[in-house]
Every structure is written in C-alpha cells, then in structure tokens.
Amino acid sequence: MLQTPSRTTRRGALRTLAAGVAAPWVVPRTALGAEGKVAPSDRVTMGFIGVGGQGGGHLAGGAWTYLPGGYLGRDDVQILAVCDVWRNKRDAYTKRVNDHYASKFGKDGYKACQAYVDFRDVLARPDIDAVLIGTPVHWHALMRNMAARAGKDVYCEKPISLIVREGRAMAEAVRRYGRVYQAGTQQRSEYGGKFRLACELARCGRLGELKCVYAMLGGGGWTDGGPAAATGRPVPDGFDWDLYLGPVPWRPFDGHADAHRFGWGSINWGQHHYDIVQWGINADDTGPVEIGWEEGKLAYRYASGVVVYGCPYPGERVGGTGGCTFVGTKGRVAVDREHIVSYPPEILNDPPRRDESPLYYSNSHSANFLDCVRTRKRTICDAETGHRAMSIILLGGIAEKLRRPLKFDPQKEQFLNDPEADRMLSAPCREPWRL
C-alpha cells in the first residue's frame, strides 16, 4: 500500500530544493523574492502526471490554459516533476522545464525538475504540494485518490471518472484527507464570464420560472476497450504498456493507446456541458431523480421539477461548444464558448449585480486552484461539484445501455429497486490496483 509521507511546508520544501536538488547552483536573489519577484515560500511546488495533449498544454501552454507558457510561465509555481509512461514525452518536457529555469535564473545546466515513469514516485516526494493529472481517462479516479492519500492537492482533467462509484470515492478521499481539488471544467472561470452570466440569469429569475435545460449531449461511460487482438504487437521502446493499462483489464498491445480508449459516448466533452447545467439549476450537490425519455429525447428530471434534455434545443445554433440552453417561462438564454444570446434579447440588458448573484466568482481557473492551495478554500469546481456533473452523463449512459427509464436517489446515489442498474454503478480494478 502506498504510504502517506509527512506533510512538508512549501517554505521548508523550497529551502530543501534551493540547498539540494538545484545544487551546486546558487539560487539568484530574484528567485528569493527580491526585486518584486515571488518568494519561494509563496510558490506552489507541482508535479505533472501525464504530459500528452492536455497535460503538456497545461505545463507549457495550450489553448485551454489561458496564460502564455502555462504553469511553467507562472512565477508563483515551481515545477519539480514530470511523469509519463512515454519516455520521449517525459524527457522532452523535463528538458523544457529545466531549460526554462536555467534561462530564467541565468544558470546553465540548472536541473531542478526530475523525470518519472511511475506516478507513485512523484506522490512519494514530500516537497511537492500539488499534482496536475492529465493522463488517459481510465486513470483519473484511482490516481486522484492516491494523490489525496499522499497529501497532495490535485488539479485533474475531465472526465473526473468513468464510473459513478469512482467519482464518489474520489470526493470522499479529498474530503477525508483535507485536500484542495479542482476539476478541469474551466468554463466556470474562463471565456469572459459568459457561462457565469447565463447561470446567473437562470438562477436570479431573469428567465422567469426555469422549466428545462438542453445540454446538447447524451450519456456515456466505461468500456473494456473493445475486442482484444488475438496476437499482440511489439510494445514500442520507451513505453510502459502495463502502467498505461493500470486498473483496466489486461490486453496485449495492439497499437492503440489513446486517452479515451476506455470510455464511450459523451465522456470527453459531456462534463463541460453538464457542469454548466448543474451550476445553472443550483444542483452542484445533487442529481436527477428520474432518467428516461420524453418524446424520444434523453431526459433527466430533478426533484425541483426542472427537466434536462441530453440534446440541443430545437433549431438553436448557439450552445454547441461546451454549452447549453436554459428555458424559462419568460424567455431563454443559450451559451457556448463563443456566444451568449437571449430570447427576448432584452434579457441580456439586465444582468444580475455582483452582490445579487449567488455564484462563485473566478476569472482564472488555474489561478483559482493555486489561490485555494495557499488559502485552503474551496475551489470553483471542487470534488463534489465535479463528481455530480460527471454522474449525470454516467447515469444517462446506464439508462441508454439498459434501454429503459430509471429512478434514482441522488442522496444515497443508488437506483430504486433496480439491482441490475445498481451493479453498473461500479466496476472492479485489475490487480494490484484498488480504488
């Protein structure tokens, strides 16, 4: 079993870093907080686990990081570890980190960042405050639990789980070990506040009584990855296939090691859509009581009476990229990453005041995470919020697989008098991995 290391303060960790890991180089005065720079005691030390598309973008800059240079470009972060099952990825990003710091501190050969193939070695380091998980999706839940148990704060890309019980275990682990957690559903913080405004209009009565929401996408969930090849192919040099598979069933290498192989349906984009739906209907700590179909559309009915449809609003062109449409008795508002429109248009002319809005305010997802690491406050997309948003997709996936309507208790998180559906809320891990 993974042992939980003793918790080290950032100040103590960075003293150790300055004295040991970065030796024999002298840390420049600017790195110690002079000349208006961020002192090491105020920096968050981080490890990056999984540096393919999403993880690498977060580390060094990508379309979804909203800050040039990603976390590497931040003065309030020190990256100490890069981990990936692909050697070429971990080595390339480790070099990139070390080259950046060597240039920043004016010391050739500066090597403070280490490369790892096994994420457990990153979690065992007491000088790392937080980890960012950008691995293939079948690893997210188990890895987050282990990180929380190891005393790390966690930023994890979506989807946060492929199975409902995984998400609940994750939320409980974060709570039990007192960790800060941020789900990578950044629409609450980014895109100029369009999604926040849409949710404010829905929750502050500007649409009248809220009747329904169109979420654009249906259900999804876990899959075994499809038929295994009769005979395997040679595993590429520098790739740990067994560690890539981790908790999912063993299969010979067949050339496919993509991030979403063990998921189906709307698991990639769906959490973005349903995260905003949950925010707009004030359901971050609950879920639907019925999942079925209305007029051929997947539908989730909540105890409040609001119905959420897993499809687009008829004829609505806005709401496609991570978006949705809220419909009330006085009008509707549709939002996506590029647009926000209302019908009638005047609804947008009367936005709720900041002091009138009940919504959490953040204009930077990464900065919100780092601020909460320092203050120990709740993030804008914490573990419970992320779990509930992902659960909607997974519950819809179960209904779609069983092809019948279901009744659900969102407090107990189990179906009513339906053992067959309940069995689909969990799945075993391959040994030696345990949730």
Residue 435's pLDDT band (boundaries 50, 70, 90)? confident
Residue 39's pLDDT band (boundaries 50, 70, 90)? low
- Tell me what the pLDDT averaged over the chain comes to: 89
Lookup: tokens for 164: 């409902």
Give the Cα separation of 190 and 184 in Å (integer): 11
Domains in the chain (CATH in brackets) are 10-188 (3.40.50.720)
Residue 15's pLDDT band (boundaries 50, 70, 90)? very low
C-beta neighbour count of 417 within 10 angstroms: 8
Give the Cα separation of 19 and 405 in Å (integer): 62
The confidence score (pLDDT) of residue 11 equals 41
Query: Do 410 and 416 meet the contact criterion of CB atoms below 8 Å apart?
Result: no
Give the Cα separation of 113 and 341 in Å (integer): 46
Query: Do 66 and 337 meet the contact criterion of CB atoms below 8 Å apart?
Result: no
Over residues 268-297, the pLDDT tens digits come to 999 999 999 999 999 999 999 999 999 999
Query: Do 414 and 407 meet the contact criterion of CB atoms below 8 Å apart?
Result: no
Residue 32's pLDDT band (boundaries 50, 70, 90)? very low
Over residues 352-394, the pLDDT tens digits come to 988 899 999 999 999 999 999 999 999 999 999 999 999 999 9
pTM exceeds 0.85, yes or no: yes
Relative orientation angle of helices 194-203 and 270-280, to the nearest 10 degrees: 40
The confidence score (pLDDT) of residue 106 equals 83
Would you list the DSSP string of 287-346?
--SEEEEETTEEEEE-TTS-EEESSPPTT--S--SS-EEEEESS-EEEE-SS-EEEESGG
Q: State the sign of the Cα–Cα–Cα–Cα dihedral 70, 280, 167, 265.
A: negative
Q: How far apart are the first and last CA of the chain?
A: 12
Residue 422 has pLDDT above 80, yes or no: yes
Q: C-alpha 83: how far from its chain's center?
A: 18
Per-residue burial over 147-177, b if 16 or more Cβ lie within 10 Å, else e, is bbbbbbbbbbbbbbbbbbbbbbbbbebbeeb
- The backbone torsions φ and ψ at residue 376, rounded to the nearest 5 degrees and listed phi first, read 70, 25
Residue 5 has pLDDT above 50, yes or no: no
Over residues 49-100, the pLDDT tens digits come to 999 888 999 999 877 677 778 999 999 999 999 999 999 999 999 999 999 9
What is the average pLDDT across 211-217?
Answer: 96
What is the average pLDDT across 191-201?
Answer: 97
The confidence score (pLDDT) of residue 38 equals 62
Residue 37's pLDDT band (boundaries 50, 70, 90)? low
Return the residue matching tokens 């949950």: 278
Give the Cα separation of 33 and 255 in Å (integer): 48
